[in-house]
Chain A
Amino acid sequence: MARAWIEALLAAGVTPATFVPDASQGRFDQEPVERAAADVLEDAELATHAVSGAAGPPPAAFLDGIQQWRVVGYDGVVPIVRAYVAAAVRRRGVDKRLRTALEAAREFAVAPLAALGGEQRAALEAHIDVVDLPDLAPSQPGPVLEAARRAVDGARQTLERALAERALRLLGEREWLIVDGLLSVSGKLAAHPRALGVIKSFGTQFFEGEALRRALTLAMGQRTSVFRARGGHARNDVYSWYLRLWPWEGNDLLYGLLRIEARAAEETIAAAGGVSSWLLGERAPVSTPDARWDRLLYPIHDVETYLRSRAPRDFLPASGSRLPRTGT
């Protein structure tokens, strides 16, 4: 299908391109940098708690998504982007193996339609689902590509959210859903008693001073008090806490550090220790060779690997050099 609409574009006069932006190979894994408030709920002030030995995990399913995009052509100086987003839920069986329970994918084009020529726009809209980038002032490609990235990111989040909400309906009586990323982006997710968000990037700052120091210098196997995240990126009320999987000393301050999101309920405070305990058990197997292995739970890594194996292969950067061909 991709070839058909790209060929239609080229026939309409679009200049072919094969540019794969650096950020297009995975998710843009940074929370927007912003400050947010937090109410410590478990203790009088943010404290550290030792997590008891790794407990056996409950039945669980894991959700993650991927996004890939590339510039396939230019109409003048306006880039036209081909994008692919996918998400899957893989459920862990009694044999400890992960099997796909749900998955969804979407391929689409991203472009500022108003900036395209009539023929090019018609060719694009006739062949593929297009996400428009409105209200963009004519510019060099950079701002358009950043807008495209945000659009793809949003599409991926939408897909993940929809899949997560479907997954909640399929969960067993004791089964948990572990989501890679924010739980608070979905009201249904944020309200579910057995849904967890596992966040491994720290763009939102909840604390300052001594509380911040305690949160970011947790020793391995420790967690912070449960707090309520207010404002920032969160759209729904959730409880949260930090958990250190691996010792950070000798590495980086954020090495092995996770922030967990769960339903905003009293039960979450009571369950934080137990949940942390079995999340600690998820350190093995390690998710190498992924560079984020210290924070990436293996089942989430597995879902990502699964999705990448099923993604169209032509999103990958060309293996050869981008140097001009010599003509021989």
Chain B
Amino acid sequence: MSQSYETYKPKLSPTWWLKSRNYFLFMMRELSSVFIAAFVILFLYQLFALAEGKEAYAACRDELTTPGFVVFYAVAFVFALYHTITWLGVMGRVQVVRMGAFTVPPKLVTAGAFVGFFFVSAVVGYIFLYVL
């Protein structure tokens, strides 16, 4: 004889992530991707204007340097940094580096990732400030 049972479906309140600091930070980490994607789309728009020519680019720059957009960029910058910290911060645990019998200490892998971040940022900064 077969019997059917009702499946247990846990109820989830839409505000569960506000109930603990860790849940909140988890949601902020997830949300960071939305700001990063929005920045990327604006960046593509800016490149599109650049391809259109000098006047189109100037108009685009005028638009993107208005206070509203600057506030957006500032918020996106904070979220992007939070993404960097959370993403690279777990690098040692995510990526175990082994060389023969030797395992590189996870903390060193994480530290290496952050060194890489500062190095890449410095190179990009150097290009913007001194090469162009």
A and B found bound together: no
What residues of chain A have their CB less than 8 Å away from a CB belonging to chain B?
none
> A-contacting residues of B (Cβ < 8 Å)?
none
